[in-house]
Structure 1
Amino acid sequence: MYFYCPYKWRIDTQKFAAVTGIVTKIEDFNQSPDDASTGCYKLMSIESSDKGPVNFVISPETYFVDYEVINEGDTVTGFYDANAPAILIYPPQYPAIVVAKDTEYQNVAFDYFDNQLVSSSGSLKLNLAPSTEIILKNNQPFNRYPGNRNLIVIYGPSTKSIPAQTTPYKVIVMC
């Protein structure tokens, strides 16, 4: 689908997708019975109000925003690659790239942001401030411009414009 942007034509392709819901179960997910990675992978089941039950495979590479420990009963948002092949089972099962525990007064977005810091869906534009913390996923400072990268954005209020604009509290660069 194409839409007009005053600066360029863009293809409206969603790079990442998100599911928000209540965690109903967390259990070990074994790749094979004698695998050395036994206990390193988890299957997190959530109940989403709009998508129903969804399972996320949590791997050692899954990034947890603010290093939060997730428990049954927590409300979370899981982000996954919207263009990756998925197995056709019910409930759907996706490898989680990022998991964020929902908290009041804090929003989390994970997407590709272009050189003008507009998300790939065109729904969010970032306005960086000197107070915006820009770090790598290992919590080390990132000293370059974060555009043209996959970013985890932690922010509060945003405008009701199209795209919505916000000044993020923290930007985590996914190198």
Structure 2
Amino acid sequence: MVSYKQDVMTKMIQFLPISGRVTEISDFTTTAGHEDSGCTKFITVTDAQGGTVNFIVSPTTYVVDQALIQIGDWVTGYFDGNAPVPLIYPPQYHALVMVKINPPQHVKVDFFNSQLVSHDGQLKINLSPFTQLLLTNGQSFTGDPANRNWIVLYSVATKSIPAQTSPYRMILLCH
């Protein structure tokens, strides 16, 4: 018998990032029909080691700051590492979140536990009165931030393990 906690853990989204330079953008065509034409983009990214990845960016993909992504931009795409993917080359992932890299802004997309530590243990959030907690539609989030999937935007962090930061904005991913 599988416990409830194990069942929840197996269904948890594992946000995996891939960063690189955008080398191509095209419309992603589906068999759904003409009404979907142009709604989904196919973004090809080449990482620093020369590897290529294709992201499917659909209307449900959250693009941080609604940034216009263009060829030549550096981006990070986050996908669900637990989701099935076709065994093709280059790999093709459905992007859950896309971030146009804009230093000195740092972005972390992950599940944050009851202590506000990321699932991978690399970042701890220290909320401040200046931290904006938002929904993807731009409205304020007023609930408990613990045990949720967040897009965390911050500028500085400690060099400790886990690194600690007081983010300026957090966007709740309600999947």
User: TM-score, structure 2 length as denominator?
Assistant: 0.89
Count of residue correspondences: 164
Match of 1:49 in 2: 48
* Secondary structure in 2 matching 1:85: coil
Q: Percent of pairs identical after alignment? A: 48
Q: For residue 60 of structure 2, what is the aligned residue in structure 1?
A: 61
The letter of the residue matching 2:58 is: S
The answer on 1:154 being equivalent to 2:153 is: yes
2:65 is paired with a residue whose SS is helix
Match of 2:139 in 1: 140
Structure 1 spans left out of the alignment, 5+ residues? 1-12
Q: Distance in 2 between matches of 1:84 and 1:31?
A: 19
2:66 and 2:34 mapped to 1: Cα distance?
Answer: 26
Give runs of ≥4 in structure 1 deviating > 6 Å.
none
**What is the distance in 2 between the residues matched to 1:78 and 1:138?**
20
SS at match of 1:66: helix
Aligned to 2:112: 113
CA shift for structure 1 position 145: 1.9
1:100 aligned residue:
99
2:5 matched residue in structure 1: none
Taking the aligned partners of 1:45 and 1:163, their CA distance within structure 2 comes to 32
Distance in 2 separating the partners of 1:71 and 1:166: 30
How large is the Cα RMSD of the aligned pairs?
1.7
Q: Pick closer, same or farther for the CA change 1:51–1:78 going to 2, 3 Å.
A: farther
Higher-helix-fraction structure? 2
What are the superposed Cα offsets for residues 118-144 of structure 1, whole Å, 9 maximum, x if unpaired? 111111100000000100000000011
C-alpha distance in 1 between matches for 2:34 and 2:83? 25
One-letter amino acid of the structure 2 residue matched with residue 168 of structure 1: P
Q: Which residue of 1 aligns with 2:71?
A: 72
Cα gap change, 1:129 to 1:51, in 2 (>3 Å): farther
Distance apart, 1:51 and its partner CA: 6.6
CA contact (8 A) 1:14 1:120 kept: no
State whether structure 2 residue 128 is matched by structure 1 residue 129: yes
Give the structure with the larger strand fraction.
1
- Report the 3-state secondary structure (helix = DSSP H, G, I; strand = E; otherwise coil) of the residue aligned with 1:36: helix
Equivalent-residue separation in structure 2 for 1:128 and 1:55 (angstroms): 35
**Structure 1 CA distance for aligned equivalents of residues 91 and 165 of structure 2:** 32
| Aligned-partner Cα distance in 2 for 1:130–1:162 | 24
